Structure 1
Amino acid sequence: MAILTNGTDTITPDLIDGYESTSEARNVVHPILGSEDVDVVLRPATLPTGTMVLVMGNEASAAAAEDALRGAHVWSLVTDRGTVDMSFIVAERITRTLDRDTRDVWLVSFGWQEVDA
């Protein structure tokens, strides 16, 4: 089970069908001229960013989820899988499509950026 909420709106998808997260490493490597050695500046990676696909049971709930995700909000994601729970903002395109296989459920996909809340 997953719940997305922003304090005003709540989205409860039937399931999260696609989830991907990526963090950019920010370490800096400086080659030293005339040497095989390198000088390294260690920096922490960025907060994760990624994509998510929500499976919604009907067209009305998919449209409502799409509309809610368009707002300027910080969202909270709580799931059965504690490693994906986070605070995030919608950072990229929001897409609503009818599932090609079932022609019954709707998919709402979007890009996200984790934020400190």
Structure 2
Amino acid sequence: MTTTITDGTTTLTPLLVLGWAPARQARTRVHQLLGRPDPDVTLRPHALRAGQLRILCADEVAAAAMEQMHAAGTVLTLADDDVATAAMAYVVSGQLTTELDQVTLLRWVVTADFTEVLP
């Protein structure tokens, strides 16, 4: 299984994606109207995926490169040989953290809040 993250110029290969937790926000609007038992509904498609991505890096140098790529303010592309549904173009849309893995004390974990975008 190979996972890659690229910014179009540089491609990084983490050891593992520890967590990928996407959700899709509903954009349908429901309006409760006075004097009517049924609501007025405006149907809209769901938004693209958003969530948190946790990336395991081999060492501090690899984690620093991963953090720098995610902090650059560019569209990134995630691809995985085994999990086709994980493939996406995304931007960092919230916090970006880097921490020493508490289990190994050798590996590093980069965590990014993401929002999927159209490529």
- TM (norm. structure 2) is 0.92
Structure 2 residues not aligned, in runs of 5+: none
Tell me what 1:86 maps to.
88
Q: Secondary structure at the match of 2:67?
A: helix
Tell me what 2:43 maps to.
42
* Correspondence 1:110 to 2:116: no
Q: Secondary structure at the match of 1:63?
A: helix
Deviations 1:7-48 (A, max 9, x none): 112111000001111111111112232232121110111111
Contact 2:4–2:11 (Cα < 8 Å) also in 1: yes
Report the number of matched residues: 117
CA distance in 2, matches of 1:71, 1:106: 19
Measured after TM superposition, the shift of residue 87 of structure 1 is 0.6
Two-structure CA RMSD over aligned residues (Å): 1.1
The amino acid that maps onto 1:7 is G
Structure 1 window deviating more from structure 2 (21-30 vs 11-20): it is 21-30
Tell me what 1:67 maps to.
68
Tell me what 1:14 maps to.
15
Q: Calculate percent identity across the aligned residue pairs.
A: 35
Measured after TM superposition, the shift of residue 104 of structure 1 is 1.4
Deviations 1:23-78 (A, max 9, x none): 11111112232232121110111111111010011111111111121112111111
Aligned partner (choices 96, 100, 103) of residue 101 of structure 1: 103
CA distance in 1, matches of 2:91, 2:50: 10
Q: Secondary structure at the match of 2:52?
A: strand
Structure 1 residues not aligned, in runs of 5+: none
